[in-house]
Amino acid sequence: MSVVEIVDHPLIQHKISLLRDRNTGTKEFRDLVSEIAMLLCYEATRDLPTEEVEVETPVALARTKVLAGRKLALVPILRAGLGMVDGMLNLIPAAKVGHIGMYRNEETLVPVEYYCKLPNDINEREVFVLDPMLATGGSACDAIGQIKKRGAKHIKFIGLVAAPQGLKALHEAHPDVDIYVGALDEKLNDNGYIVPGLGDAGDRIFGTK
Ligand code: PRP
Ligand code: URA
């Protein structure tokens, strides 16, 4: 049974409120995306396997736990997913990073893939697909389809803001994928933007508008 979790944490809610504000500038926006990604990473890695080891503390021998060495990969969906990579790597620095490039045709909203480069051993890794926005869900569904075609078997999706349609579409298309998002918004508008949302995440991260 896969997880669909709206990660309901006061720090995440606070930081997403700041992100939504149209007056938040590029630097602050970028920092917030990174910080929220780190908080979501904490939740999405809760089930990583651990193993017991012995460690000598200054006081005594401790039997304690470390990560059991499952290999991890991050795959940001370009462009906006790039903004989440540093925050994730703060907590899981050994993860390899692949990239998949998708953009939505602004009229049809149909996603177009333009780039894909993944670690060779993606089939052995637990893969975290990153994109701040899950709107129609088209980009995430297609990106995950492509990543599966290249052999990935264990995938989680991490996003900041989702529309109900996108969450449903992703869960239906990939019921095996665990989904972690920071907020579930009300709806999409006629242009496919999440309402209330935060606008165009890629443009706000990179200052292109
Ligand atoms: C945005 C966002 C997602 C996609 C979500 O990317 O980062 O990838 O839209 O929409 P969907 O769920 O309806 O597919 P965009 O196409 O604007 O490209 P960008 O990241 O390069 O700005
Ligand atoms: N992509 C964005 O960046 N924002 C939205 O609201 C929808 C898709």
- Is 38 domain-assigned? yes
Report whether residue 103 contacts ligand 2, using a CB cutoff of 6 Å: no
List, as residue ranges, the binding site for uracil.
194, 199-201
**With 0-12 CB in 10 A as exposed, 13-18 as middle and 19+ as buried, what is 203?**
middle
**CATH number, residue 77:** 3.40.50.2020
The span from the CA of 209 to the CA of 199, in Å, is 11
The number of folded domains in the chain is 1
Structural element, H or E, at residue 166: helix 164-173
Q: Which domain holds residue 198?
A: 2-204
Residue type, 32: L
16 pLDDT more than 80: yes
pLDDT tens per residue, range 56-107 = 999 999 999 999 977 999 999 999 999 999 999 999 999 999 999 998 888 8
Note the Cα 42 to chain centre separation in Å.
12
Over residues 168-190, mean pLDDT: 98
The span from the CA of 4 to the CA of 167, in Å, is 8
Tell me which residues have their CB closer than 6 angstroms to ligand 1.
77-80, 102-104, 109, 111, 131-140, 166, 192, 200-202
Residue, of 209 and 176, whose pLDDT is higher: 176
The span from the CA of 69 to the CA of 76, in Å, is 22
Question: Which residue, 30, 36, 13, is CA-closest to 185?
Answer: 13
pLDDT tens per residue, range 182-199 = 999 999 999 999 999 999
Structural element, H or E, at residue 20: helix 10-20
Position 104 scores a pLDDT of 82
pLDDT tens per residue, range 115-149 = 999 999 999 999 999 999 999 999 999 999 999 99
List, as residue ranges, the binding site for 5-phospho-alpha-D-ribose 1-diphosphate.
79, 104, 131-139, 200
Residue, of 107 and 41, whose pLDDT is higher: 41
- Is 49 domain-assigned? yes
- 80: β partners: none
Q: How many residues does the chain have?
A: 209
Q: Where are the beta strands (DSSP E) in the chain?
A: 4-6, 50-56, 61-67, 72-78, 96-97, 99-104, 111-117, 126-130, 133-134, 154-162, 178-184, 187-188, 194-195
Over residues 15-19, mean pLDDT: 98
The span from the CA of 73 to the CA of 188, in Å, is 30
ipTM score: 0.97
- Is 100 domain-assigned? yes
CB atoms within 10 A of CB 107: 8
- Is 148 domain-assigned? yes
Q: Whose CA is nearest to atom 7 of ligand 1?
A: 80
- Is 209 domain-assigned? no
Position 1 scores a pLDDT of 75
Question: Which residue, 167, 112, 182, 176, is CA-closest to 143?
Answer: 112
- Is 142 domain-assigned? yes
Question: Whole-model pTM?
Answer: 0.96
- Is 105 domain-assigned? yes
Alpha-carbon distances, residue 167 vs 66, 70, 139, 170, 172 (angstroms): 33, 27, 12, 5, 9
